Amino acid sequence: MKFACSGNKEYITNLEGALFNPIPIQDTLWLPNTYHELSYDFFNNIHKMTFHEIAFAVSKQLIGTEIPENVLKNIIEECFDFEIPLKRLNNKLYILELFHGPTLTFKDVGARFMSRILKYFVPENKEINIIVSTSGDTGSAVASAFHKLLNVNVHILYPKNLISKVQEKQIRSYGDNVYTYEVEGTFDDCQKLVKDTLSDEYLRNM
């Protein structure tokens, strides 16, 4: 799968390149360069599939051949080892509950998957650092997802006195490769520090 910069469609990279260069140009994002439709068979049989099977079919369309199918299936099984129930509200309306993960936030779903996908591309002889800002849920989910992953350090910035006590305890309780920083300011101040860091070529190449 190829990804194009939202600010310059001629700036294209693969999944690994997008992961390790998350902000291609200031104030831009990576977007899939092409979209592959899921088959009619997929939608006709989706009610017979497990969550893991659905997750594999969808993620395979985005990841392509960059991660072998057996590895991707193992990643999905490892990440989603908690219940993600589909609850019926009425005859036509259902809701998927995403808050049954280890930190009880919906962001566990994305953070755990991202952590394993990123770890796949980290060489055994290389150590990487991830920096993230949070207003609460993201920090908890990222801390849990990346905790004790070899060769990966996570740095989490959060605004002082502006997240709940439960979230703060979650973020600060992991230790090991998870580092937390209390920032005097708002979430926007934390976000600016992260963006400035990612835009600094010297820091990116350290």
Q: Which of 9, 87, 92, 107 is catalytic?
A: 107
168 CB-near residues (< 8 Å, 6+ apart): 158
The distance from CA 89 to its chain's CA centroid, rounded to whole angstroms, is 29
| 107 tagged catalytic | yes
63 C-beta neighbours (distance < 10 Å), count: 18
Locate tokens 């831009």: which residue?
A: 28
124 C-beta neighbours (distance < 10 Å), count: 6
Report the SS3 class of residue 170: helix
Taking CA atoms, 59 is separated from 26, 111, 129, 137, 184, in Å, by: 27, 14, 25, 23, 38
The residues annotated with a catalytic role in the active site are 107
